[in-house]
Amino acid sequence: MNVAETAEADDIESMMEDAARRFLDERHPAAGAPARVNDAGWQADWWRELASLGWLAVLLPEAAGGSGLGLRAAWPLAVQAGRHLLAAPLVANMALLPGLPAARQTDGPLAAWLAPVLAGDACHAPAAWQADGSLLVEYALPGRRALAWRRAGGQGLRLELHDLADAPVGVGVDPTIGTARLPAAAPVDAIEIALDERAWAGWQQGYRLLRAAEMLGAASAALDAAVAHAGERQQFGRPIGANQAIKHRLADHWMALDDAMLAGKEALCLLERADAGAAAHACAVAELLALESAPRAAQHAIQVHGALGIAWESGLHLYLKRVLHIAAMLGGGRRQTELLDLLWDSGAQPAAA
């Protein structure tokens, strides 16, 4: 990107963030998230409203009915989804099907799957394959279909839709996200599309970075609450935030989250430039920083609040649980080890002549 293109991208990102923050402040405050998990009527109305905003089509080019704004515009939407504990799978529906190169075609089976999502008539619940062949479904809701994906050979992608009608829906660590476990079974629909190794890696990296952005958003909201509390809570005649043991740790967490945010944005820029080598390294750095910084910041935010922090009524636990949920779906501690190994190995490679 040249200077003008970078400035334009920054302006778009800033406008998207401001619009998303104002809309979600009014329509989806974090405190109301638990009540919306199993409200099918609210979910349907809310999804149509999200679709009308065009958020689900930011990754699609204009020729395919999208806005063509790209990953940089999707990043602030994911951050705000995390800050407001959004009880709907915005990131998955914004990034998975629309993020595929094949989504640029206006006909075919993928277009048929995507059309009702973009119109607000359907919403896919992301599903992760487990070792026993079952599916762990996030944002599960009766009547909603789960979207699962896997590699099909070395040059293909298999997408599957699974019915959630008879699946028992509960909640896991995060009470604002409905979850379900589907046993191994034939899907209700499936398609296979061509996707080479480079495109597969970029697609996966883009989705994982946007989930990391959602996690960082939740952690940032928790940290903001801790900073505000530290400025208001009085002990021995002064705010507790005046004590170095508190304010220095809050500053450390702010810097760690900011580093992860900046690394994530840089990684998205490299993905959009299709610089595969540099993007793979940058994505690993950004994901690692997010997995390290977000849980620590959310945990310390609760500690700063003292006894209030562990009270159910305070709502702070919801931010921590959202962070822990996303961290687990990204692979948690095992994934951090994998990323460290990847970065170590890439750093050990001799420079090209």
| pLDDT (tens digit per residue) in 221-235 | 999 999 999 998 888
pLDDT at 349 (0 to 100): 54
pLDDT at 345 (0 to 100): 85
**pLDDT over 80 (residue 26):** yes
Q: Identify the CATH number of the domain in which residue 103 sits.
A: 1.10.540.10
Is 128 among the domain residues? yes
Q: Distance from CA of residue 309 to its chain's centroid? A: 25
Q: 17 and 147 share a domain?
A: yes
Domain finish residue from 195, 212, 243? 195
> Whose structure tokens read 């394959």?
129
DSSP letters for 53-115: HTGGGTTS-GGGTS----HHHHHHHHHHHHHTT-SS-HHHHHHTTTTSGGGGSSSSHHHHHHH
Q: 14 and 152 share a domain?
A: yes
Q: 184 and 203 share a domain?
A: no
Pairing mode, strands 124-129 and 145-151:
parallel
Higher pLDDT pick, 20 / 39: 20
Average pLDDT value over all residues in the chain = 91
Q: 209 and 286 share a domain?
A: yes
pLDDT single digits (tens) 260-298: 999 999 999 999 987 878 999 999 999 999 999 999 999
Model confidence band, residue 312 (pLDDT cutoffs 50, 70, 90): confident
pLDDT at 294 (0 to 100): 97
Contact by Cβ (8 Å): 91, 214? yes
Instruction: Find the domain containing 108 and state its range.
Output: 3-195
Model confidence band, residue 168 (pLDDT cutoffs 50, 70, 90): confident
Q: 238 and 290 share a domain?
A: yes
HSE toward the beta carbon, residue 49, CA cutoff 13 A: 12
pLDDT at 73 (0 to 100): 93
Is 344 among the domain residues? yes
pLDDT single digits (tens) 57-66: 999 988 888 8
Choose among 226, 194, 196: nearest CA to 315: 226
Number of domains making up the chain: 2
Q: Distance from CA of residue 40 to its chain's centroid? A: 22
Q: 52 and 172 share a domain?
A: yes
Q: 190 and 210 share a domain?
A: no
Model confidence band, residue 166 (pLDDT cutoffs 50, 70, 90): confident
Q: 212 and 160 share a domain?
A: no
Is 177 among the domain residues? yes
pLDDT at 350 (0 to 100): 45
Q: 180 and 207 share a domain?
A: no
Q: Identify the CATH number of the domain in which residue 304 sits.
A: 1.20.140.10
Domain finish residue from 195, 218, 238? 195
**Region 160-174 average pLDDT:** 86
pLDDT at 275 (0 to 100): 81
Higher pLDDT pick, 142 / 317: 317
DSSP letters for 177-245: SEEEEEPS---SEEEEEE--HHHHHHHHHHHHHHHHHHHHHHHHHHHHHHHHHHHH-EETTEEGGGSHH
pLDDT single digits (tens) 182-216: 998 889 999 999 999 999 999 999 999 999 999 99
Q: 211 and 131 share a domain?
A: no
HSE toward the beta carbon, residue 196, CA cutoff 13 A: 2
pLDDT at 352 (0 to 100): 42
pLDDT at 353 (0 to 100): 33
Q: 156 and 267 share a domain?
A: no
Is 353 among the domain residues? no
pLDDT at 2 (0 to 100): 58
Q: 132 and 183 share a domain?
A: yes
**Which strands form 170-171's sheet, in the order they lie side by side?**
170-171, 178-182, 135-138, 124-129, 145-151, 156-163, 189-194
**Region 161-178 average pLDDT:** 87
Q: E strand or H helix at 137, and its extent?
A: strand 135-138
DSSP letters for 238-268: EEGGGSHHHHHHHHHHHHHHHHHHHHHHHHH
Domain finish residue from 169, 195, 221? 195
**pLDDT over 50 (residue 152):** yes
Pairing mode, strands 170-171 and 135-138:
unpaired
**pLDDT over 70 (residue 5):** no
